[in-house]
Amino acid sequence: MRNARKFQLIGASVAALVLGGAAQAQDAQQAEGAASGGLEEIVVTAQKRSENLQKTPAAVTAFTGNSLVQSGTTDLRAVQNIVPAARFQQEGATTQVILRGVGSNLDFGNVEPTVAFNVNGIFTPREGTSQPLFDLDRIEVLPGPQGTLYGRNALGGTINISFKRPTHDLETSGVLEGGNYDLMHATVVQNVPLGEGVAARAAIDFTKRDGYMESGAYSKDDIAARLGLLFDRTEGFTAYLWGQYTKRDGSPSNLVNKGFDPNTGQFSENAFLRGDPWDDLRVGAFAAPGALPFGQPIKEKQKYNLYNFGAQFDLEVADGLTLTYVPGYFRLDSNSSYWLGVIPDFKEDNYRLITQELRLSGKSDRFDWLAGIYAYTQKTYGYSFVGKAAGPFGFIASGVLHHRVKGIAAFGQGTYKISDMFRVTVGGRASYDKRKANGISPDVGNPLYDFEKSFKRFDYKVGVEYDVAPTAMVYLTYQTAYQPGTFNEVPSTPLKSNLISSPKLSSFTGGLKTRFLDNTLQINVEGFYYKYNDLLLQAYDASKPYNEIFNARAETYGVQIDTVFQPTPDDRFSASLGYLHARTKSYKVPGLTAFENLSLPYAADWTINVAYHHDFHLSNGYIRPAVDARYESSYFADFVHTPGTRQKPTWRENASLTYFADSNKWSAGLWIKNITNKAVIAATAAAGIPGPATAYLEEPRTYGARVTFNF
């Protein structure tokens, strides 16, 4: 009977795959005490309600906070190692977030992210993506448009970060790490019950590390502190308030020269000037006065002070009816100096953001729904200066003196159960956004510019899902999304406006989520097609004062296959295979025909993620060796495919060996990342001396030891 049931489920899964395609989901942690030895159930809030990940008709990659600790993930940049078809890479004080080939690849004040980063349900601007990740409940990554529920800046997807909330237990926990480059990292958490229905949770995270670069640049000296309060004394009412302060005092990474072979004196796409790619100093002919207009690159400084506060109030107004209010405040003051090869650069960013969301949700036997209102006001200013005022080549690269964006939106989504197996989802969002700005143009003569424009948009979603078997679901979704338009940093003229039109997206997604073989094997597949109109693209050339933003039409389609196999409680294997075809089709501005049908920035055609661990049991605990690897095919860092901005195909591997006590009170282990010490580019720009490009680099080989405790 058991074998017959297995074959029925396999047959149903194959039939579903033929009918529709599939959905992607992945979990990074084996649940403690899984009685059956099978895969655990994962609860996510991707649709702003708690539900089983395998029953969520959307592509969701979810990771628990404990799994992130054991994988050594302490910031968003490290998350890319475990998320398929994604790049989360450094760009100074920010993190470029790119999902399925779509994301903002510049960090100037007039360019907003196209992937939303939310902390406890509150939108966080781009520079907030570099805050440390600690004491987390989970991370959820949703690729593709999320315009109905998440609105602006969710054109390419959404990343949701959730902190651990206070509990009514007395708990002390933490993480201690040490490693090469004199790494010292510690997280300490104290949870305290304060009486009936009241609890507090305090956490502090500290990281100090020497620089990865020869000059001493690319170092860390960061500290973050968080306090959370929970009130649930009154039945049917819960209040969660939290605040966090982050201070970063390390040295920013310098960019290194790429694309010039010092041995031949000729262009070579994959060449760096030094045998150690992270060596940012110049020697020999490259140390001649003409090659060092400002002297040798040095270890520069940064200032980064982030304050973010938020809350969530939930009131059960009737049986199955809940009112939720989520206010948030974000303030950032950041500036840093760094080197574009041998040219110094300075950048400053300042943010003030207030957000508010009020929503009402209902749940019955056949109908789940929510409706809400969202409003925000964001004020920013900042600038970027290349070179030095007293030397050659000095110019303003961006000069936003005042930039205010405000908006309001009404949204709703409902899922109706037509039968026990068939469900229909319909949603919509009406948005109004207004942008006003002025500044100093980086164009010749540095004239002043101003901009003011309002934008309106209605996005919608229609989806169906069908359970073809108890553990197999297929779905098909059509969804739209948009982002408010922006401006080029030049004055408008009668012949050419500085307006950049609003990017818009229409998308089809078909998916399958399934488990079989007695809940030990999960195979999820997703096929998708995205059509972008007026997508924002900009190629940064460090030698040019002004780099124009262009609107383009683009097309993206692909497929992703994710598997998790747990044949025994002690063995777990996961693998993801992704194919992505992300290409520009045409440009709104004439003269760019030569760049049509080229891949989008940082959009590798193929990605592979694999991981395996096995538990060896001892008398009082178990030892877990774990390995994982990620492959990316080649990609370019800009849409014009500038020489020197291409990353060659690369495998990167990580490993760890950890002892876990059966009491779950502590663990200790060793870890190593980027075992083969591969140099992989992050944010990359044209120009440089000698050029043709300069590039940030991801981290080199690192290793160390980790101890966790929980009492």
> One-letter amino acid identity for 446?
N
- The model carries a pTM of 0.91
Cβ contact 150:140 at 8 Å: no
pLDDT, tens digit (0-9, with 9 covering 90-100), for 537-568: 988 888 888 889 999 999 999 999 999 999 99
Q: State the distance between the two ends of the chain, measured CA to CA, in whole angstroms.
A: 46
Q: Quickly list DSSP for 20-64.
A: H----EEE-SPPTT-TTSSPPP-EE-TTSS-EEGGG-SS-EEEEE
Span of 138-142, 177-181, 555-559 with lowest mean pLDDT: 138-142
Looking at the DSSP assignment, which residues form a beta bridge with residue 243? Answer: 227, 309
**Exposed, middle or buried by CB within 10 Å (0-12, 13-18, 19+), for 103?**
buried
Angle at 471 between CA 626 and CA 426, to 5 degrees: 110
pLDDT average, residue stretch 573-597: 93
Spatial CA neighbour of 262 closest among 254, 274, 270, 250: 274
CA 545 to chain centre: 29
Cβ contact 129:162 at 8 Å: no
Give percent of the chain with pLDDT exceeding 90: 75
pLDDT, tens digit (0-9, with 9 covering 90-100), for 243-253: 999 999 999 99
pLDDT at position 390 over 70 = no
pLDDT at position 306 over 50 = yes
User: Who contacts 357 (Cβ-Cβ below 8 Å, separation ≥6)?
Assistant: 121, 324, 325, 326, 327, 372, 373, 374, 375
How many CB atoms are closer than 10 A to CB 598?
Answer: 16
Number of alpha helices (DSSP H) and beta strands (DSSP E) in the chain: 4, 41
> One-letter amino acid identity for 60?
V
Query: What are the helix (H) ranges across 485-643?
Result: none
pLDDT at position 255 over 80 = yes
The secondary structure element, H or E, covering residue 140 is: strand 136-143
**Antiparallel, parallel or unpaired: β 650-661 and 666-673:** antiparallel
pLDDT, tens digit (0-9, with 9 covering 90-100), for 196-206: 999 999 999 99
pLDDT of residue 598: 96
Which pLDDT band, with edges at 50, 70 and 90, does 95 fall under?
A: confident
pLDDT average, residue stretch 212-218: 97
CA 384 to chain centre: 24
**Exposed, middle or buried by CB within 10 Å (0-12, 13-18, 19+), for 390?**
exposed
Taking the CA atoms of 225, 136, 165 and 99 in sequence, report the sign of the dihedral they define: positive
**Exposed, middle or buried by CB within 10 Å (0-12, 13-18, 19+), for 227?**
middle
92: left (phi over 0), alpha (psi -120 to 50) or beta: left
Round to whole Å and give the CA distance between 568 and 188.
34
Bond before 132 cis per omega within 30 degrees: no
Round to whole Å and give the CA distance between 14 and 469.
11
pLDDT at position 450 over 80 = yes
pLDDT at position 36 over 80 = no
Strands (E), 418-494: 422-440, 448-469, 472-482, 486-487
Cβ contact 461:505 at 8 Å: no
Which residue shows structure tokens 């025994």?
568
Spatial CA neighbour of 116 closest among 147, 90, 92, 91: 147
Which pLDDT band, with edges at 50, 70 and 90, does 389 fall under?
A: low
pLDDT, tens digit (0-9, with 9 covering 90-100), for 289-301: 888 989 999 999 9
The secondary structure element, H or E, covering residue 65 is: helix 65-70
Looking at the DSSP assignment, which residues form a beta bridge with residue 613? Answer: 572, 626
- Look at 572 and 90; give whichever has higher pLDDT: 572
Round to whole Å and give the CA distance between 675 and 626.
13
How many CB atoms are closer than 10 A to CB 462?
Answer: 15
Spatial CA neighbour of 646 closest among 109, 269, 254, 284: 269
Residue 215, CA atoms < 13 Å, CB-side half-sphere:
25
Give percent of the chain with pLDDT exceeding 70: 94
Domains and CATH numbers, the chain: 2-710 (2.40.170.20)
Span of 77-86, 163-172, 178-187, 461-470 with lowest mean pLDDT: 77-86
pLDDT at position 18 over 70 = no
Average pLDDT, rounded, for the chain? 90
Round to whole Å and give the CA distance between 381 and 384.
11
Q: Which two tokens stand for residue 635?
A: 């990609």
pLDDT, tens digit (0-9, with 9 covering 90-100), for 671-695: 999 999 999 999 999 988 999 999 9
Q: Quickly list DSSP for 279-304.
A: -----GGGGSGGG-TT-S-----EEE
Which pLDDT band, with edges at 50, 70 and 90, does 23 fall under?
A: very low
Round to whole Å and give the CA distance between 618 and 42.
28
pLDDT average, residue stretch 92-114: 86
Round to whole Å and give the CA distance between 710 and 42.
23
According to DSSP, residue 541 is labeled B
pLDDT at position 180 over 80 = yes
pLDDT average, residue stretch 71-79: 85
